Structure 1
């Protein structure tokens, strides 16, 4: 038996059902859908590729590219992606990241669009994409349905599609063939497009990076419902970014001051950053302890200036604050393409505002909303601001995006939401005196 056929036999025996399905999906640009649907064995798939001239003269290069794409290796190793369209590869990557619960949500929302027999418990996300293509509700220039679904299910998925549409992945060379264009690109062009080469970045190499202090007050007389946001901040975001987590719950005003003073007096010389997340009731310029006493926000931030905390001088000090800044409600202004999520189970959060940002260098203050306005929270999912912040940090930090770019994306997401019955809106507000790019590397 000739060597290429021996190799095909070995490869075929190693492929499981899910891997074969992935290869079939990625090759839809080259092999008709009806032909692929009838294929159940790897050897039949290889024969279909040979019939279409994709494995001529004993060359297995095309199959190797397909396997690398299916295993997610093509970009990791900076190899050329030429066996499938970038759009189809994007769909495949989305299918790999979608959880079981999210898949169930896709099936439920598509219940009126796709045949019920095609949405059974064994249906995979790749199957869903194929059925959407058959129905004409998914295509290279027809992503509106998919974007709407992602906006309802997981905003991070929507962000990835928007990045594709904005061509953030670098320059591409395209040749039209079939539903999607064939794309040839290198992954390095994506990382280069996300950085401003002329601007220096803060050092962020220490392990741990620093302390992430979480002040979480929710046990008031008029209680804020407990939400899973502190857990998200700890486990899904700053824990993965190599910060030491220090969470304190239900503190009085005096206890807040004592905790802040403890970390002000710590030696941070071996750390590169300090983060503080505040979730509490408040009003203009202050936050409340659970005893109803006030703590000025500026008192918290200025505790960590270079003068008051020498070991953090020249290092980024990051504060994220979730609460209202007043009683006023923001009204929406209709624009051509923007639309927001509507959620009837939404309430305003605590009153809270900062009169002025710290004048000292290297501070970043992320506020949930503008001065004098309320902020909102969903009883089901938590506050609009913190949930968006967690999602975008979790998604964008591994991709090398700087914090200001991430917070701009957070602004965009939160601004899309609406609170019934009067369609009130919310606009977060980051303020900063950073002198360099702030990037939180995962590795």
Structure 2
């Protein structure tokens, strides 16, 4: 018998890969690779997964306002993948979606005591690339810090640090592809969440190196913002005794060779 949605952990994948031709934002051909791998990995872990492509800014706001009021078992996970700047991503209409507004939707009675996870695959600045120009008139003033907007029992994992660009490749983003790879490995998905995300930071930082004339040698470092009040194991196998889970040897996370890829930026 299939599980009802209120009996499931839920995941929402929002990807903007194509923009209105009138908007000065480049396409992002790797988003479908990320969607496919995320869908497969999360479904195997018991998540109900919905994919939403190329939404406008208002459609993204509406989607998350509705999702924040829907039942969930223990964990709600959202992936937002688009071009962005600090504090926002862009809809396919080129208008900003303020992340602080999205986070605030989940500070309600429906999501109380539920774990909320947000993965943001987007630039937070242009420290590595100035090839994507955004009309500054589109960026609304946002005086409310995204940090202050994050509800209790929420973790936000950014693909990159404030002020820096996030790499995107036609084969997918290094950030989300690496996250999925970790979920496919037993000794990683059974880790407590902050340990898992620390391992994600390590693997992206130490096993990825861009190449090419403009980006050769550049690196990427994800960034975690957490307001979790307890240890959580959202990806652990059902029935697994998480109290005895330990980090495996450091050599395990250092074993991959450095990958070199020709990137663009999110």
Q: TM-score range by the shorter chain?
A: 0.7 to 0.9
Q: For the structure 1 residues 399 and 383, does the alpha-carbon distance in structure 2 shift closer, same or farther, using more than 3 Å as the test?
A: closer
Distance in 1, Cα, partners of 2:70 & 2:205: 38
Structure (1/2) with the larger strand percentage: 2
Query: Partner of 2:93 in structure 1?
Result: 291
Query: Partner of 2:29 in structure 1?
Result: 225
Does structure 1 conserve the Cα–Cα contact (< 8 Å) formed by 2:29 and 2:169?
A: no
Does structure 2 conserve the Cα–Cα contact (< 8 Å) formed by 1:366 and 1:430?
A: yes
Q: Which has the larger radius of gyration?
A: 1
Identify which of 262, 275, 284 aligns with 2:77: 275
Establish whether residue 302 from structure 1 lines up as the match of residue 96 from structure 2. no
Structure (1/2) with the larger helix percentage: 1
Does structure 1 conserve the Cα–Cα contact (< 8 Å) formed by 2:34 and 2:177?
A: yes
Does structure 2 conserve the Cα–Cα contact (< 8 Å) formed by 1:397 and 1:442?
A: no
Query: Partner of 1:434 in structure 2?
Result: 228
Query: Partner of 1:360 in structure 2?
Result: 151
Larger RCO (CA within 8 A; separation ≥ 6): 2
How far residue 424 of structure 1 moved from its aligned partner, in angstroms, is 1.1
Establish whether residue 213 from structure 1 lines up as the match of residue 18 from structure 2. no
Matches within 5 A, 1:27-176: none
Does structure 2 conserve the Cα–Cα contact (< 8 Å) formed by 1:208 and 1:243?
A: no
Establish whether residue 240 from structure 1 lines up as the match of residue 39 from structure 2. no
Does structure 2 conserve the Cα–Cα contact (< 8 Å) formed by 1:240 and 1:442?
A: no
1:162-214 Cα deviation digits (max 9, x unpaired): xxxxxxxxxxxxxxxxxxxxxxxxxxxxxxxxxxxxxxxxxxxx984321011
Distance in 2, Cα, partners of 1:397 & 1:248: 30
Query: Partner of 2:191 in structure 1?
Result: 401
Aligned length: 214
1:248-268 Cα deviation digits (max 9, x unpaired): 111011111111121122234
Establish whether residue 371 from structure 1 lines up as the match of residue 159 from structure 2. no
Q: For the structure 1 residues 224 and 403, does the alpha-carbon distance in structure 2 shift closer, same or farther, using more than 3 Å as the test?
A: same
TM-score calculated relative to the size of structure 2: 0.73
Distance in 2, Cα, partners of 1:393 & 1:404: 14
**Deviates further, 407-416 or 417-426:** 417-426
Q: For the structure 1 residues 348 and 213, does the alpha-carbon distance in structure 2 shift closer, same or farther, using more than 3 Å as the test?
A: farther
Does structure 1 conserve the Cα–Cα contact (< 8 Å) formed by 2:160 and 2:222?
A: yes
How far residue 356 of structure 1 moved from its aligned partner, in angstroms, is 3.4
How far residue 408 of structure 1 moved from its aligned partner, in angstroms, is 1.2
How far residue 314 of structure 1 moved from its aligned partner, in angstroms, is 1.4
Q: Helix, strand or coil for the counterpart of 1:312?
A: coil
Q: Helix, strand or coil for the counterpart of 1:246?
A: strand
Q: For the structure 1 residues 383 and 286, does the alpha-carbon distance in structure 2 shift closer, same or farther, using more than 3 Å as the test?
A: same
Distance in 2, Cα, partners of 1:322 & 1:350: 18
Identify which of 210, 219, 238 aligns with 1:419: 210
Distance in 1, Cα, partners of 2:90 & 2:153: 26
Q: Helix, strand or coil for the counterpart of 1:418?
A: strand
Establish whether residue 316 from structure 1 lines up as the match of residue 115 from structure 2. yes
Q: For the structure 1 residues 218 and 385, does the alpha-carbon distance in structure 2 shift closer, same or farther, using more than 3 Å as the test?
A: same
Distance in 1, Cα, partners of 2:190 & 2:121: 25
Q: Helix, strand or coil for the counterpart of 1:260?
A: helix
Distance in 1, Cα, partners of 2:200 & 2:83: 22
Q: Helix, strand or coil for the counterpart of 2:184?
A: helix
Does structure 1 conserve the Cα–Cα contact (< 8 Å) formed by 2:6 and 2:71?
A: no
Distance in 2, Cα, partners of 1:348 & 1:229: 22
Distance in 2, Cα, partners of 1:239 & 1:397: 18
How far residue 374 of structure 1 moved from its aligned partner, in angstroms, is 0.7
Q: For the structure 1 residues 429 and 436, does the alpha-carbon distance in structure 2 shift closer, same or farther, using more than 3 Å as the test?
A: same
Structure 1 stretches lacking a partner, 5+ long: 1-205, 331-346
Distance in 2, Cα, partners of 1:286 & 1:299: 10
How far residue 442 of structure 1 moved from its aligned partner, in angstroms, is 2.7
